[in-house]
Amino acid sequence: MTNTYKAIDFFCGGGGMTYGLRQAGINVIAGVDFDKDAKDTYEVNNPGSKFILSDIKNLRSNFFERNYGVKKDDDQLILVGCSPCQFYSIINTTREKSKKSKDLLTNFSRFVDYYNPGYVVVENVPGIKTNKKSILPKFMEFLKSKNYTVCEKVVDLSYYGVPQTRKRFSLIASRVDNNIKLPEPELKQSLLKDFIGIVNGFSKISAGKKDDTSFKHTSAGLNPICLERLKVTLHDGGNRFAWKDNPRLQLKCFIGKDNCFKDTYGRMYWNKPASTITTKFFSISNGRFAHPDEDRAISLREGATLQTFPKDYIFKTYSNSATAKLIGNAVPPEYAKRVGLSIINNLLDGTI
């Protein structure tokens, strides 16, 4: 059977999922997102895949049928819904602001109901499975009512070619393949040392270095006292405990709280996966985002590389924070590729 898989990538952001699916040989017709800052990045890296600037709540169910000839009941159509997940994130501290993202799966299910695709893919934070207010159980009931076979679990992406301790809820559902399965994990984790550092093409830079090329090996600046803190932090995994007894360097908010926020101001380890790359990875005060040896936070390009974006992936944004947001919110392309291949290989193996 010829591979004619095609996909629509809802909540596509800067194109991590789209890029990975395309690498697997899937034709991604379009990506949908309401973030106008993502459009140029998405389209320049995924030529032929159209960026639809729209809030999914306002997009008509028949939009893709009318504008792109997408057919209902297509066995090789994949609808992907990797919705924003702030409400269910364990690191979220302002859930009131994130409530709008809580029920986005319901909006996505409207398109699944209309097109009845062969496959549905969902990726989200683990909290969507454990949170008592989660919409996931209702979504799962919906899929089963449509006769989809569902394969889902929480995966650690460091065993799927992504050098981060990034745990994600992952789901593939199919109404045409009763044996659908998620990608198989590897036996060993992917490690930081195999992705960044001088041996991997990253020159040494200082905090505040600005790279005006498309490579964006740009590092955030540090004020003098933060730079001093980092200079006394042990290399290769050191943390803020190195200066906790120094009254000038210690932060008041950490006094007597050695058991809290242990990764904040910490350095990454060469021989371990990185911490989860968030939208704030550009700042050492937001997690273990300091370079293992150099006195700075990891650069924009290093963060993108740890998300498995290729080094020639171009981020066309107007600020460093906008670039970091696209990187941190992305589905790592390497994992997306493996999801796509898992669907295709089941077909090639003759299971349907």
Which residues lie across from 8 on neighbouring strands? 30, 79
Residue 75 Cα to chain centre, angstroms: 27
Within 8 A by CB and 6+ apart from 321, the residues are 282
In a domain, 152, yes or no: yes
In a domain, 341, yes or no: yes
Six-digit token string for 327 = 């990187």
Residue 72 three-state SS: coil
* Burial status of residue 46 (CB atoms within 10 A of its CB: 0-12, 13-18, 19 or more): buried
pLDDT, one tens digit per residue, over 292-310 is 999 999 999 999 999 999 9
Report CA Rg, the chain.
21
* Burial status of residue 94 (CB atoms within 10 A of its CB: 0-12, 13-18, 19 or more): exposed
* Count of domains for the chain: 1
**pLDDT at residue number 236:** 98
**pLDDT at residue number 55:** 96
Cβ distance 161 to 308 under 8 Å? yes
- CA 181/CA 273 separation, integer angstroms: 25
Query: 230: left (phi > 0), else alpha (psi -120 to 50), else beta?
Result: alpha
pTM of the predicted structure, to 2 decimals:
0.93
Element (H or E) spanning 33, and its range?
A: strand 27-33
**pLDDT at residue number 56:** 96
**Closest-CA residue to 284 (of 269, 306, 299, 272):** 299
**pLDDT at residue number 102:** 61
In a domain, 14, yes or no: yes
Mean pLDDT, rounded, for 277-286: 96
- CA 21/CA 5 separation, integer angstroms: 10
In a domain, 320, yes or no: no
Within 8 A by CB and 6+ apart from 286, the residues are 264, 278, 280
Q: Give buried/exposed letters for 108-126 (b at 16+ CB in 10 A, else e).
A: bbebbebbbbbbbbbbbbb
**pLDDT at residue number 348:** 57
Identity (one letter) of the amino acid at 1?
Answer: M
Which residues lie across from 52 on neighbouring strands? 32
Percentage of residues in the chain having pLDDT higher than 70: 92
Mean pLDDT, rounded, for 261-285: 94
**pLDDT at residue number 3:** 64
**pLDDT at residue number 259:** 73
pLDDT, one tens digit per residue, over 52-102 is 999 999 999 999 999 999 999 999 999 999 988 655 454 554 555 445 556
In a domain, 31, yes or no: yes
Query: 259: left (phi > 0), else alpha (psi -120 to 50), else beta?
Result: alpha
Any idea what the CATH number is for the domain that residue 37 is in? 3.40.50.150
Domain enclosing residue 62, as ranges:
6-188+331-348
pLDDT, one tens digit per residue, over 123-158 is 999 999 988 888 999 999 999 999 999 999 999 999
In a domain, 202, yes or no: no
CA angle 97, 35, 59 (to 5 degrees): 95
In a domain, 174, yes or no: yes
- CA 229/CA 241 separation, integer angstroms: 10
Mean pLDDT of the chain: 92
pLDDT, one tens digit per residue, over 237-249 is 999 898 898 989 9
In a domain, 220, yes or no: no
- CA 33/CA 55 separation, integer angstroms: 6
pLDDT, one tens digit per residue, over 215-237 is 999 999 999 999 999 999 999 99
Mean pLDDT, rounded, for 324-341: 98
Question: Confidence class of residue 263 from pLDDT cuts 50, 70 and 90?
Answer: confident
Mean pLDDT, rounded, for 15-44: 98
Q: Which of 43-47, 148-152, 269-273, 343-347 has the least mean pLDDT?
A: 343-347
**pLDDT at residue number 178:** 93
